[in-house]
Amino acid sequence: MENIVYGTSVTPEEYNRLRMAVGWYELSPRQARDGLAHTPFVACARVDGVCVAMGRALFDFGYTVYLGDVVVDPAWQRRGIGRRIVENLCQAVLDAADPGDTLMFFLSAARGKEPFYEKLGFETNPNATAGSGMRKTVTKA
């Protein structure tokens, strides 16, 4: 059985390697470095020192939390690692909040991954109280 070690740091190179492993586009070295540097909460999973999964939580330290880049190397999927990454991120944010605070966690699930997040308590939009999630991607010329 593998020894999976969970931590809170990822290098820009590991970040990009995981993104590309699941078919996402590669970020420039600056984007990967600065994105991680400005992310208050990172969770990762390592096996034999190799990062096999990661996720990020952007928190305004008010009530809004965005979970981004939850990614598990395909060779390591379906072992509960992604679940643990999301749980670790959510717990880290809750630990930073004050007692009685209500937090709103947002994410944009990759197509077909909605059931994974629903099992963790997230609701698919649209629903009775929320419209469709929306996004806009822009590449600066």
Q: What is the DSSP string of 60-119?
A: -SSSEEEEEEEEE-GGG-SSSHHHHHHHHHHHHHHHHSPTT---EEEE-PPTT-HHHHHT
pTM of the model: 0.93
pLDDT for residue 5: 98
Residue-wise pLDDT for 102-115, tens only, equals 999 999 998 899 99
